[in-house]
Amino acid sequence: MNTIQFPSFWASSLAAGTVLFLTIIAKLLQKPKIFKLPTVGIDATDATILKSRYVQEADVVLREGYEKFKNTIFQVLTPDGPRIFLPRKYAHELKGYNRHQASGMKALSDRHIGNYTTIDHESDIMLGAIKIDLNRNLGTFVADVEDEVAYCFETQFPPCDDWTPIDLHDKLLRVVAQASARIFVGSPMCRDDAWLDCSVKFATDVMTGGEKLKQWHPWLRPIAQYFIPEMARIRGDHQRALDLLMPELKKRSMELNDLNHSPRNDMIEWMQERAKSTGDKSFNNKELANLQMLTATAAIHTTRLAIIHALYDLAARPEYVEPLRNEILEITKGNNGVLQKQHLTQMRMLDSFMKESQRHSPPSVATFQRKAMIPIDLSNGFHIPAGTIVQCNTNMLDEAPAEWGDPHAFDGFRFYKLRSRPGDANKYQFASTSYDSMQFGFGNDACPGRFFASNQIKIILAYILTHYDIKFEDGVVGRPKNFMFEVNVLADPTKMVLFKKIC
């Protein structure tokens, strides 16, 4: 029997190996998609240098493209192939497409190689829970989130009785993760160290593993993924999340038999109820754990970075601290300093400062991105084939309306003053999206979690402003220059902010 199976085994292996080899050769012979568009810098610079520049200084490259091809579609050479940038006016043409036609989430997933990092997974249940349930219930969570934030500062931060250097990139990771978990998985699980470590670790593994894998040629990634530790950990993170979530899910299942049971008000409950109401048979505990990891990834890093940018701007411009602190104290004085939903709405100066900080340091210089899921033709005749990602250079400060004042100056109360005009009280808010403010995207597929992010950022900044004085470490003059990684805008991680508790 062995003499028959042995040759059969090797024949099958040889056949499989031959197919793999021929597939790789065929892909190597394929040419990347080149569009008949002007290319930034191609007339004067080697293509390899252009790709490197995109990684290290995409903001400068896009500025060059804007100035040279202001009203024209152009492309930029990147390590992943050409990227198409549209004049901002075309956002009007694309904003009406739904996510099945032109998807912002799919574009973001492709940027992070979602098919490998497992974030290439859209779920109607998850989107419904965020867009409808989360946004509808935000007001009920303000005191709970503030409680988690206070608990984090008390347990995770040093006393800060004197000026103490704080690594914001590290410390705020825990604060944002725990405050988010209060809404995602409820209490007491939101304080479970193992769960928080898993959710933070997954988000970090996705970001780091994706960037490491992108350094490999796309045709080699199916093999290269097994040589990158973070990629292996991602698979383990999913299993770990399920293992940690199961006791809570079993507990909730048993509670259903209790006639006095009150429904939970968190993401677990919302997702389960949505699955029941829609009859989604594919939704199970494993899917719930996976969606929890994806939700945490979407929420943690961008929110943390927005807070860091705002704190850097405050440390560099201390003249804003007192008026912002006074606003918070004045609004909350009738409630013993405890935040409520209406307090966040009333913090117009803080909202303005957050928006101005984000205007100068957005999460990306291309926050309006769409992956064409169907062929799309623009009004100028340009054809966007299905599968193509297009984006707008959304951080050209020059394009701000004249009524906003000097577009290049940092005016923390710019939008506070604009909202003070008759009829404009509800305009220019941090979470608002418009043609002139695309930091959260624009149109049908704008960021669904932006209201949640706005609340989180306000609660955390309000806590810091009313409990600490802050400043940069000695030797730091002005606002540290941001780092660029492709189109992502990162705060300088080498700079420390000093905290001192207010007596």
Q: Locate the domains of the chain by residue range.
A: 87-501
CB 368 within 8 A of CB 97: no
pLDDT of residue 24: 53
Report the pLDDT averaged over residues 90-119.
91
10 pLDDT band, cuts 50/70/90, is low
3-class SS at 377? strand
φ/ψ of 95, rounded to 5, equals: -65, -25
Q: Tell which wins on pLDDT, 52 or 262.
A: 52
pLDDT of residue 333: 87
Report the pLDDT averaged over residues 387-403.
92
Report the pLDDT averaged over residues 65-94.
91
Tallying the residues shown for the chain, one arrives at 503
User: What Rg value do the Cα atoms of the chain yield, rounded?
Assistant: 25
Identify which of 32, 24, 66, 26 has the alpha carbon closest to the alpha carbon of residue 394.
66
d(CA 241, CA 312): 34
CB 360 within 8 A of CB 415: no
Report the pLDDT averaged over residues 449-475.
95
pLDDT at 90 over 60: yes
d(CA 265, CA 134): 9
pLDDT of residue 5: 46
CB 357 within 8 A of CB 310: yes
CB 392 within 8 A of CB 86: yes
Neighbours of 257 (CB within 10 A): 7
Among 21-25, 165-169, 196-200, 491-495, which stretch is predicted with the lowest mean pLDDT?
21-25
3-class SS at 474? coil
The mean pLDDT value of the chain amounts to 89
Indicate left, alpha or beta for 388 from its phi (over 0: left) and psi (-120 to 50: alpha). beta
CB 150 within 8 A of CB 188: no
Report the pLDDT averaged over residues 435-455.
92
What's the half-sphere exposure (Cβ side, CA atoms, 13 Å) at 175? 27
CATH of span 87-501: 1.10.630.10
d(CA 66, CA 101): 27
pTM (predicted TM-score): 0.90
313 pLDDT band, cuts 50/70/90, is very high
pLDDT of residue 75: 93
pLDDT at 50 over 90: no
φ/ψ of 244, rounded to 5, equals: -75, -30
Helices (H), 317-392: 321-332, 341-346, 348-360
1 pLDDT band, cuts 50/70/90, is very low
pLDDT of residue 30: 45
pLDDT of residue 216: 87
Give 450-453 contacts, CB < 8 A, sequence gap 24+.
451/135, 451/138, 452/130, 452/134, 452/135, 452/138, 452/183, 452/299, 453/299, 453/302, 453/303, 453/306
Identify which of 57, 164, 167, 174 has the alpha carbon closest to the alpha carbon of residue 492.
167
pLDDT of residue 341: 87
44 pLDDT band, cuts 50/70/90, is low
Among 44-48, 151-155, 319-323, which stretch is predicted with the lowest mean pLDDT?
44-48
**CB-count burial class (<10 Å; 0-12, 13-18, 19+) for 17:** exposed
pLDDT at 9 over 50: no
